[in-house]
Amino acid sequence: MDIVRIGIIGVGGIANAAHIPAYLKNPHAQIVALCDIDVKRAETAKKKFFKDAAVYENYMDLLADESIDAVDICTPNYLHSEIAVEAFRAGKHVLCEKPDAISVDEAEKMYAASLEAGKILMVMRNNRFNLNSQYLKKFISKERMGDIYVARAVWRRRRGIPGKGGWFTTKAQSGGGPLIDLGVHMIDLAWWLMGCPEVEAVTGSTYSKFADNDAKDSPNADFGDRVENGTFDVEDLAIGTIRFRNGAVMQFEVSWASNIEKEERYVELYGTRAGAYWDGSRSVIFYEAPDGKQKSNTVNQNEIVTDHGHNIANFIDVIRDKAEPCYQPQQGIEMIKILSAIYTSAENGGKEVRF
């Protein structure tokens, strides 16, 4: 298979900002169908980018289209598992935006359906494909960092609540606030760089302090559809600790809104031979030279192709038998287990939840 025919389900913010641009640059992908409950969104994307694509309002109608090899799910979180399961029943491969699902049970259903169908399941982990992430992964794989025993995963904003009042801030539809929205990115990246060690226990605390604050200073606040006087029953900050069976520990902090100097996202790793810092635009290695002096080496890896573009290219190439997947569904289930346990800990006053 040289060309993989794709149907996009959900033609909103993330589809237009990241997925569609990636497909337009991929010579082995062809968008043949678009689906959105707001059919005007799909029609707009068809007119602008994919003039020959079919347009559907109901995703079941898209799944019945036998010309489609795979679907890309860019819907609100609570629909991820539901649509993925139906897509596998229809014989399609599935790429899904993060998070995998809003519960462990739903994530497991997705994986089981993929196995039964014999089709590929991949969930977006675009930060793994960042060139600075790839550089660090190779550096670590050569055992140049030694034993990684501490990690920090952070993404915090001053005022960047997405789709306030809409599905982003409605727990039944999103699964939670910045922990499941941003934490799934940063915790996963740190965990992946550490080699995905087994989790022993987690503790977490969540806060909701900005539900009545409409200020915004982040472009991320423009994601999603705002709903005046809508629902806001999720956290706007989560903080806590993950302990691993190998003795390592990860601290995390994620927020949509907090009184800090500036928005920042980063991962720090402490190893016995070297340390590392990642912020998306660069990676820095901290090490001790033979003369005993502390040194640092900064690597800036930038490319026209986006992280989402690399992730989508991996999905397409896996379908074409040209690459190995960077993501395994079992890792996605484990990530949802971690996030769910952190929420459980927070609901119980920060008590430790053991795995």
pLDDT, tens only, 146-201: 999 999 999 999 999 999 999 999 999 999 999 999 999 999 999 999 999 999 99
Instruction: Return mean pLDDT, the chain.
Output: 96
Domains in the chain with CATH codes: 4-123+308-326 (3.40.50.720), 128-302 (3.30.360.10)
pLDDT of residue 304 exceeding 60, the answer is: no
Tokens of 230: 């809508």
Give exposure, 293-328, as e/b (b: 16+ Cβ within 10 Å): eeeeeeeeeeeeebbbbbbbbbbbbbbeeeeeebbe
Across 90-99, 207-216, 233-242, 297-306, least confident range: 297-306
At residue 149, what is the residue type?
A: Y
d(CA 110, CA 106): 6
Higher pLDDT, 303 or 191: 191
User: Which among 147, 94, 146 is positioned nearest to 119, based on CA atoms?
Assistant: 94
| 94 contacts: CB under 8 Å, gap ≥ 6 | 70, 71, 73, 84, 87, 88, 110, 114, 119, 120, 121, 122
Tokens of 277: 């810092």
Question: Do the strands 29-35 and 54-56 form a parallel or antiparallel pair, or are they unpaired?
Answer: parallel
CA dihedral angle for residue 180, residue 242, residue 125, residue 154, rounded to 10 degrees: 70
Residue 259: exposed, middle, or buried by beta-carbon count in 10 A (0-12, 13-18, 19+)? exposed
d(CA 52, CA 221): 33
User: Which among 247, 241, 188 is positioned nearest to 353, based on CA atoms?
Assistant: 241
- pLDDT value of residue 262: 95
At residue 345, what is the residue type?
A: S
pLDDT of residue 316 exceeding 90, the answer is: yes
Overall residue count recorded for the chain in this entry? 355
Q: What percentage of the chain exceeds 90 in pLDDT?
A: 91
Question: Do the strands 199-207 and 70-73 form a parallel or antiparallel pair, or are they unpaired?
Answer: unpaired
Confidence of residue 301 (pLDDT cuts 50, 70, 90): low
Tokens of 100: 């995998």
User: Which among 283, 277, 264 is positioned nearest to 154, based on CA atoms?
Assistant: 264
